[in-house]
Structures are given as C-alpha cells and as structure tokens.
Amino acid sequence: MIQKDSIGPEYLIEVYDPKIGMQGFLVIDNLRRGPGKGGIRMTKTVTLEEVFRLARAMTFKNAMVDLPFGGAKAGIVWPGGSDELKKKFVQSFAKKIAPFCPKYYIAGPDVNTGEREMEWFVRITGNLKTATGKPKRLKGLPHELGSTGFGVAIATKVVCEELGLDIKKAKISIHGFGNVGYFACYFLSKMGAKIVALADLSATIYERDGFDHNVIAKMIKKGKPLPLKECPKGERIQPEDFWGLDVDILIPASVTDVINEQNKDKIRAKIIIEGGNIPMREEIEEEFFKKGVFVLPDFVANSGGVISSYCEWKGYSEKTMFRIVEEKIKKNTRLVVKESVKKKENPRKVAMEIAKKRIK
C-alpha cells in the first residue's frame, strides 16, 4: 500500500513503451532538502509500491546523513534478456523521465544496474548531472568502488563497539554477494571479523571457522556469482538453512523482504545490520526489538552509496569520498545506537525521529 502523508509522495509516475514492452516507475517522495536522489533497480517483479517504499527510505536516508537531496527511487520491470535489450530498456526509460532530471530526480545504481547503465542513462538525457555512479572517465565515482559495502562494515563495527561486542570475535553471516554484500564481506574481513556464511542465488556456503581473508579477496576479484570452488573448506547448505545458523551478526544485503514470515523465527543473531534496502517489514523489525535483537535500519547502515553519490555530484576525489562515508556513518550509527539504548526504543524509531527533524 502506498502511504500518502505530510512527507509525500510528491510524484508517482508510471511509464510504458509499447514498442519494446518497457514498463517503469519513478517515485519522487520528497523534495524539501533538494532534488530526489535514488537508484534505478531492474527486476522482473518490481512494482510501484516497492519503488514507493524504497523512495521513502531514501527520503529518510538522505536526511539522516544530512545531504542536500530529497528522496526518490526508480524501477524498470526487467524480464531478462541480452545486453542490447537491456540498453534499449534503460534508454527508453531515460527518455520517458528526462523532463524530471536533474531538477527533480537524479538517478543512480541499484539492483541490476551499475556504472554501465548509468552511462546509458546520461547519454540519453544529455546531462552528466542526471545520474551518479558513472564510470570514472565520465567524472564518476562508480558504486563498484565499494562505498555502500564499506559503509555497512563501518556501521557494523560501530554497533559492536557500542554494544560491547569484539568484532574480531563476532561470527557474521551475509545474505547477498552482489556489490553491497561482497564489499561488506571484504572490509569486515580486513577488520578481523569472522565471516562464517555467504549466500547468493547460486550458492549458500557455510564455513564454521570463518572464511580465510585471502579466499574472500580472491572471490571478490573473480566476481559473482558466489564461486564455491574458491572455498575448499566450505560446506554447501540449503538456502533455507542459512537463516538458522548460529551467528552473532546477520547482514541481509540482497533483496526487499528477504526476511519474512517464513524465516524470521529461525534467526538466532543478536544483531542485524540492514545492508540491503527494506530487507524486512517494519512490523518484523519491531518483533526483533521486543526479542532483544538490535536491528540497525537500512537508511543508517547502507547510506555509503548515497554519500558517494553526493561526493561525485560535488566533484570530490575517491579518497575524500571514503573519508566522508566513514565520518558520516560513524557519527550517525553511534547516535542511533546510543539513543536507542538510552531510551530503550526501537532503533528505527530513533533514527526516524532524527531524520524527520532534518527533513523539516
């Protein structure tokens, strides 16, 4: 259900191209802080409601990290196909929504889109400012640098510090081995954390004693899907068994609502860091809170990507970008954890109150 309230949404846009069957959605939720900023996801199941939920999350995310952006999101129904067809879909969508860019909407990468798709997008709109996450040769800071996953790792470390858990002794499972998941895995591994389980569409791998850091680096270098042969000690388990593993920290970094009624009661982790956007509904987060599970909400944990987008928009260097991501995520995560513990309130409620004040 699309919630209409004092925040938004200001624009709900559906587009369709009868020539190629491209169907897409753009939701511009709130423009009080600046142009709506949010990525374009391409999945076969994306809906206007999902895009709205993601746009609302971006409204809070951009406010939370105090950026001059409003909240927005876009989605293209992508049934799959050749790169040539994908390019046509992205270009068709770009043409349809070009009148809104960049005054009301600035695009960026999301599920199944990256620097290549952002280049296709800006070539059609004719303006480099209409998207971030572009290739470096187009003055971009592509998300392939790992800014979102880096931010998730920093947020995880801060939560551990505030809750009295030594990250070097923490057992961590990560669901999703795309851009966010594998960079979170990489940076957490460098911090000395023990990554014991990884999952994506191709495999679910459990390694009781933790993956070797060099193995993780090799896997990331080879890219996705999750390469089982790189994990000689790893045990391939059933996807549904992933959720019941004995871990300290769970990082859902895959798709919307990946934690749901079917698997929520299996989860044994005491900390959940939301690496992906909207990995569960808010009522499930509340259930976890009542059980004593600390859930750091997505718009705090995974804001590294939009901070990187802001840095690209401002023309900053890669080094400066990583510094700003670390500073902002450390500051906001610490604030949310401290307030949540002090007030004994759900971390999402605490973060929403902070973000709403910043929106106003």
Looking at per-residue pLDDT, the higher value among 12 and 203 belongs to: 12
- Residue 105: strand pairing partners: 36
Looking at per-residue pLDDT, the higher value among 102 and 232 belongs to: 102
| One domain, residues 209 and 162 | yes
Mean pLDDT of 118-127: 98
Looking at per-residue pLDDT, the higher value among 233 and 78 belongs to: 78
pLDDT-derived band at 223, boundaries 50, 70, 90: low
Residue tagged 């889109």 (tokens): 113
pLDDT mean across residues, the chain: 94
pLDDT at 228 over 60: no
| One domain, residues 268 and 229 | yes
Count the neighbouring beta carbons within 10 Å of the beta carbon of residue 341: 14
| Length reported for the chain | 360
- Residue 172: strand pairing partners: 195, 249
6 occurs within a structural domain? no
| One domain, residues 209 and 167 | yes
Q: Which residues are catalytic?
A: 73
What are the φ and ψ backbone dihedral angles of 290, each rounded to 5 degrees? -65, -25
Identify the pLDDT of residue 27: 98
pLDDT at 89 over 60: yes
| One domain, residues 294 and 344 | yes
pLDDT at 133 over 60: yes
Mean pLDDT of 9-21: 98
pLDDT-derived band at 179, boundaries 50, 70, 90: confident
Contact yes or no for 35/70 (Cβ under 8 A): yes
| One domain, residues 218 and 350 | yes
pLDDT at 205 over 80: yes
Highest mean pLDDT among 189-203, 218-232, 257-271: 257-271
Last residue of a domain, one of 140, 160, 189: 140
331 occurs within a structural domain? yes
1 occurs within a structural domain? no
| One domain, residues 238 and 136 | no
| One domain, residues 113 and 18 | yes
Specify the number of domains making up the chain.
2
| One domain, residues 220 and 287 | yes
Identify the pLDDT of residue 346: 98
- Which residues lie closer than 8 Å to 165 by C-beta, 6 or more apart? 159, 248, 271
298 occurs within a structural domain? yes
Last residue of a domain, one of 140, 159, 190: 140
pLDDT-derived band at 212, boundaries 50, 70, 90: confident
343 occurs within a structural domain? yes
CATH number, domain with residue 102 = 3.40.50.10860
> CA of 77: how far to CAs of 24, 96, 200, in Å?
6, 14, 21
Identify the pLDDT of residue 202: 84
| One domain, residues 179 and 213 | yes
- Amino acid present at 161: E
Domain of residue 122, residue span: 11-62+72-140
Q: Under DSSP, is residue 266 helix (H, G, I), strand (E, B) or coil?
A: helix
Looking at per-residue pLDDT, the higher value among 218 and 123 belongs to: 123
> CA of 235: how far to CAs of 200, 240, 250, 254, in Å?
14, 14, 18, 21
| One domain, residues 19 and 124 | yes
Identify the pLDDT of residue 213: 78
Model confidence over 318-332: pLDDT tens digits?
999 999 999 999 999
5 occurs within a structural domain? no
91 occurs within a structural domain? yes
Looking at per-residue pLDDT, the higher value among 1 and 222 belongs to: 1
Last residue of a domain, one of 140, 163, 180: 140
| One domain, residues 297 and 170 | yes
CATH number, domain with residue 323 = 3.40.50.720
pLDDT at 178 over 60: yes
Model confidence over 231-258: pLDDT tens digits?
667 789 999 999 999 999 999 999 889 9
Model confidence over 35-75: pLDDT tens digits?
999 999 999 999 999 999 999 989 999 999 999 999 999 99
pLDDT at 222 over 70: no
Percentage of the chain beyond pLDDT 90 is 86
DSSP characters for 233-252?
T-EE--GGGGGGS--SEEEE
Radius of gyration of the chain (CA): 19
| One domain, residues 117 and 241 | no
Measured CA to CA, the distance from residue 344 to residue 32 in angstroms comes to 31
Query: Which of 250, 253, 247 has the alpha carbon at shortest distance from 224?
Result: 253
Identify the pLDDT of residue 59: 96
Contact yes or no for 184/173 (Cβ under 8 A): no
Contact yes or no for 38/58 (Cβ under 8 A): yes
27 occurs within a structural domain? yes
Contact yes or no for 357/307 (Cβ under 8 A): no
| pTM greater than 0.95 (yes/no) | no
Contact yes or no for 44/79 (Cβ under 8 A): yes
pLDDT at 9 over 90: yes
